[in-house]
């Protein structure tokens, strides 16, 4: 699986343009159902707002947006384009507008919705997600430091270390690199390391 960029959790930002408030919320979503549930939750929270514009991008090229009553292509499209320009996938954005009494014009709306979305992205923790495997490696205490150095040199990251009768290391590595990790640990510990790989899954890496 190719790595992709998304957000680690929900984030929000607000801008004000000619007394109109634009509140942007962004969240990670894995499915269209999750995206729609997030959108409905924000709508419910801001049911008194004039507009709740949204856009979402899912892996596989699935995208959707709405102007929610704003002039065509002045709200949902700039929101979507801000997400795509940031290279994000599996995310949904809702930009809530509380009208301030002053018309912004089409150019002003495009700018405001785009700026609000970019501000929410800037407030979020953007992460790269890859297909990874956690490998449990049990090594004697005396070989703990050489094992860690060898694992990190092979591209693995130490997720946990449990110091019991021996040291139980949880090492995270990109899927497909398990054999390289095994060879590195075998060499560093002269075969003393016992390895138990888990199943692949998606995680920030």
pLDDT at position 3, please? 87
Per-residue pLDDT of 75-100, as tens digits, reads 999 999 999 999 999 999 999 999 98
pLDDT at position 75, please? 97
* Average confidence (pLDDT) over 61-68: 95
Could you tell me the domains of the chain?
A: 4-124 (3.30.230.30), 129-204 (3.30.70.240)
Please provide the average confidence, as pLDDT, over all residues in the chain: 95
In terms of Cβ atoms closer than 10 Å to its own Cβ (0-12, 13-18, 19+), residue 31 is exposed
pLDDT at position 1, please? 56
**CA end-to-end span of the chain, whole Å?**
13
> Looking at the predicted structure, is the pLDDT value of residue 2 above 80?
no
Q: Is 204 helix (H, G, I), strand (E, B) or coil?
A: strand
* Average confidence (pLDDT) over 160-179: 94
* Average confidence (pLDDT) over 53-62: 95
For the chain, what percent of residues have pLDDT higher than 70? 100
Strands 126-139, 4-7: pairing kind? antiparallel
pTM over 0.85: no
Distances (CA, A) of 31 to 24, 103, 195, 204: 20, 36, 34, 18
Cβ atoms of 7 and 89 closer than 8 Å:
no
Per-residue pLDDT of 5-52, as tens digits, reads 999 999 999 999 999 999 999 999 999 999 999 999 999 999 999 999
pLDDT at position 64, please? 97
Per-residue pLDDT of 128-140, as tens digits, reads 999 999 999 999 9
Closest CA to 204 of 150, 124, 136, 147: 124
């Amino acid at each position: 699986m190719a790595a992709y960029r998304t957000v680690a959790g929900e984030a929000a930002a607000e801008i004000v343009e000619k007394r109109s408030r634009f509140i942007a919320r962004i969240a990670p979503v894995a499915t269209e159902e999750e995206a729609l549930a997030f959108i409905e939750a924000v709508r419910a929270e801001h049911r008194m707002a004039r507009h709740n514009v949204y856009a979402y991008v899912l892996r596989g090229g699935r995208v959707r947006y709405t102007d929610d009553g704003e002039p065509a292509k002045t709200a949902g499209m700039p929101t979507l384009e801000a997400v795509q320009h940031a290279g994000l996938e599996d995310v949904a954005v809702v930009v809530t507008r509380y009208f301030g009494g002053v018309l912004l014009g089409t150019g002003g709306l495009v700018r405001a919705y785009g700026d609000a979305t970019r501000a929410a992205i800037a407030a979020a923790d953007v992460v790269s997600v890859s297909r990874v495997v956690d490998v449990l490696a049990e090594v004697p205490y005396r070989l703990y430091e050489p094992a860690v150095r060898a694992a990190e040199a092979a591209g693995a990251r130490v997720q946990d270390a449990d110091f019991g009768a021996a040291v139980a290391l949880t090492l995270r590595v990109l899927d497909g690199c398990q054999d390289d990790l095994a060879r590195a640990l075998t060499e560093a510990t002269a075969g003393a390391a016992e390895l138990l790989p888990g199943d692949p899954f998606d995680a920030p890496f």
